Structure 1
């Protein structure tokens, strides 16, 4: 299952909506978080209706500043726990999974307001318990090597952010792709890049999704890169074992019937593959038999 989080810097433009549509087609996110949409009221509602999701919530932008939109599909349950000018906290349940918490964050460019974020989005203030993942644009870095050129690091480096991560017992989830998630300026004199966006989680959440990973997509139409959070390894079955397709299955007359009966065209490709990995592993044991025993016989 994929989640897409992006500081799109304006959700009303046709160019931004083309990017969203393309990323949705490629990754089929079950949850979409858009940060800094720069539109509110009736116009925002009309845009949300066209996003292709059954459900959504909005934290209104203040003029052209801030705003968080969250979309999700009907096949999952999201309970709104808390809304704030700089984050949305929801409780998520998918299928038979245990409940877990998700916060989608937009840290204000204003350092004083960001200090309020570190206080308000906290274990003590919100009585947060259980698996927790927090992802978004924090507008802060924790070390000099997360910004380029490093002469600009003092502007974004935040000891308070590092303290918040430590105090909430969160771990950085890392990433694939480009190191930086934000860039500005075209010439060598004006160019700046930084890792302002990231995913963090506690150990309970990491135990729940041990194969989760974040990918920084290319920066396009916005100064920020979209982040894809993948919660599962599509090459693994539900038991966690590596799933390998056996070519010999194709020789069994029942194999096409199993595929036809179990493949669901209403589901996305990734969910179908995960389901089929479990079904075919069981079919191999109960119907086809152990491959090695057959070869040995």
Structure 2
């Protein structure tokens, strides 16, 4: 099972949606939560169609900042909506049974206090696996911030006190430590780890969790991918790739396959479309290489360059990183 959580900072941005779809195509998460969609709630149906999910919910009117989408194999029940989080009961047979809470915390320290109180109160009554993830808008330790003014020590202490009171453990991560940047250049750059996954004791012992900090593109936050459990491998879904149309041989190749469909007649139309998909996959491999592997390699390069930039700024490295991000989207 995998869960993708991303503060997308605007679901109306076509490039953000394209990057989200690339992640979904490659990683195949059962659940996708996007934070700060910055869209009217009636747009959620269109977004669900664009990213390929039939099931979805939102926190409106109490919480317009969290939209969640899930696959059919997920048994879902929304339990409670809070102004800064959304809690659900999730069951995937033989994989996971417990609570998921998606968080979009306030930027102001005083306004976050009710969230800590709310989650701490619920932790005392929760005796099943509980996974809490999202944008907490606060760091836990001093090494989770680089650049800018000094860290807000009181807010950081509030957060650590909450973790102790609620008996929650940070799930850790793989990738760049920083999940947010102000996207400024040179000495004006600020990096922070604002996004994370937390586990209660039951979840910590019941699942083997891995959290990946994926490359930060389009938004100032990076996506979080939580993986745990094993799902049966399914054939990869076919997606049309816009880059194919820009190849000089594309039209000639498709025309030759389409001629076979025409000669096959209506009775064979479905089978010939399947043959076209198969031929396009083979052609993609021969011309572009395996797309998923290329994406993984580019994501790894971006994560490495951002990690290097967070330690020592280099204009040339920043330019190279931005080019790699543009090519990935």
2:95–2:230 contact (8 Å) kept in structure 1: no
Q: Which residue of 2 aligns with 1:96?
A: 94
2:183–2:220 contact (8 Å) kept in structure 1: no
Q: Which residue of 1 aligns with 2:170?
A: 172
Q: Which residue of 2 aligns with 1:216?
A: 213
Q: Which residue of 1 aligns with 2:43?
A: 43
More helix by share: 2
Compared CA separation, residues 28 and 189, structure 1 to 2 (3 A) = same
1:230 to 219, 227, 230: 227
Report the TM-score when normalising by structure 2. Answer: 0.66
SS of match in other structure, 1:34: strand
Q: Structure 2 matches for 1:129-278, cutoff 5 A?
A: 129-149=127-147, 151-154=149-152, 157-209=155-207, 211-232=208-229, 265=235
Q: Which residue of 2 aligns with 1:255?
A: none
Question: Which runs of 5 or more structure 2 residues have no equivalent in the other structure?
Answer: 239-329
Please state how far the C-alpha of 1:265 moved relative to its aligned partner.
3.9
Q: Which residue of 2 aligns with 1:71?
A: 69
Q: C-alpha separation between the residues in 1 aligned to 2:148 and 2:234?
A: 51
Please state how far the C-alpha of 1:226 moved relative to its aligned partner.
0.3
2:95–2:229 contact (8 Å) kept in structure 1: no
2:41–2:64 contact (8 Å) kept in structure 1: no
1:39–1:61 contact (8 Å) kept in structure 2: no
Q: C-alpha separation between the residues in 2 aligned to 1:263 and 1:230?
A: 14
**RMSD of equivalent CA atoms:** 2.6
Q: C-alpha separation between the residues in 2 aligned to 1:188 and 1:83?
A: 40
1:140–1:156 contact (8 Å) kept in structure 2: no
Compared CA separation, residues 199 and 98, structure 1 to 2 (3 A) = closer
1:144–1:157 contact (8 Å) kept in structure 2: no
Q: Which residue of 1 aligns with 2:291?
A: none
Compared CA separation, residues 118 and 15, structure 1 to 2 (3 A) = same
> Does residue 60 in structure 1 map to residue 60 in structure 2?
yes
Q: Deviations over 1:67-110 (max 9, x none)?
A: 10111111111111111121111111101346211111011112
Compared CA separation, residues 49 and 182, structure 1 to 2 (3 A) = same
Please state how far the C-alpha of 1:59 moved relative to its aligned partner.
1.6
Q: C-alpha separation between the residues in 1 aligned to 2:46 and 2:149?
A: 43
Moved more, 187-196 or 4-13: 187-196
Please state how far the C-alpha of 1:206 moved relative to its aligned partner.
1.5
SS of match in other structure, 1:16: helix
Compared CA separation, residues 126 and 263, structure 1 to 2 (3 A) = closer
SS of match in other structure, 2:151: helix
Q: C-alpha separation between the residues in 1 aligned to 2:122 and 2:78?
A: 18
- Structure 1 moving runs of 4+ over 6 Å: none
Please state how far the C-alpha of 1:124 moved relative to its aligned partner.
4.2
Report the TM-score when normalising by structure 1. Answer: 0.73
SS of match in other structure, 1:175: coil
Q: C-alpha separation between the residues in 2 aligned to 1:111 and 1:66?
A: 20
2:183–2:190 contact (8 Å) kept in structure 1: yes
